[in-house]
Structures are given as structure tokens and as C-alpha cells.
Amino acid sequence: MRLLATDARELKDTVEFSLRKDPKVQPLMEDVHAYLQAVQQARKALQAGFRRADLQRDFLMADRAWHKVVKDLNTLPARQYGYLLSRAQRTDEIHANLHRQFRTEIDRPSIRFERDR
């Protein structure tokens, strides 16, 4: 969870830097902040005490917030925001790894890195 929390902060910083001049992406900024809060909450819960069921529940709450971020990211033009989309794929890989560790069976949205959008 430490890796996920660190990565979430880095992603937030990247999003803020990449999109600070584009008012059309306010929903993405809000969803990234909500995602970061969910990850931080899961990390705090883990630090308070480890119970696998609680950790899995907290991760799935953060993962739902991540799904909203992915949906928003998929609306961005890849040519203009290629770096951000590539950066977000790293976060998505961490989520995929945690899903494997928790053995969760959830349909996950994927980041579409299409050059023509």
C-alpha cells in the first residue's frame, strides 16, 4: 500500500502539472483528488492494524475511485497528453498487481492509448 500511496501522490502532481491550464478537465482533477484520498485512507487503516478483509475492502474503495480516473483519462487526446497517459499506466499496473494479490475478480477499465483520439 505504501507503493500505491506514493504513486497516487506522484500521479496527482503529474495531473496537476499537465492539466493546470485546461479548465475542461476539472472532473479529472476532482477524481484524481478523490482517488488520492481513498488511497491515503486505505494506508492509514493499514497502519492502524492489519486485517486482510479490511485491507481488501479499503483497496477496492480506492480502486473504484481509480476507475473514475481511468474513465476521465480515456477522454483526453493521446497526442496532447501522451506522457500523462503513460504515467497513469504505471498506476494501473500497481492496481492490477494488487488485484492479483487479493484474488479479486472485477472487470477493470483499461487506459486506452490511442493516437487518433
Structure confidence at residue 37 (pLDDT) = 95
**Looking at the domain assignment, is residue 76 inside a domain?**
yes
Total structural domains in the chain? 1
**Looking at the domain assignment, is residue 110 inside a domain?**
no
What is the spatial distance between Cα 12 and Cα 53, in angstroms, rounded to a whole number? 27
Structure confidence at residue 33 (pLDDT) = 95
**Looking at the domain assignment, is residue 111 inside a domain?**
no
**Looking at the domain assignment, is residue 109 inside a domain?**
no
Structure confidence at residue 83 (pLDDT) = 87
**Looking at the domain assignment, is residue 114 inside a domain?**
no
Based on C-alpha coordinates, what's the Rg of the chain? 14
Q: For each of the chain's 117 residues, which pLDDT tens digit applies? A: 788 999 999 999 999 888 887 777 888 999 999 999 999 988 888 888 778 788 888 888 999 999 999 999 998 888 888 888 889 999 999 988 888 888 887 888 888 866 554
**Looking at the domain assignment, is residue 29 inside a domain?**
yes
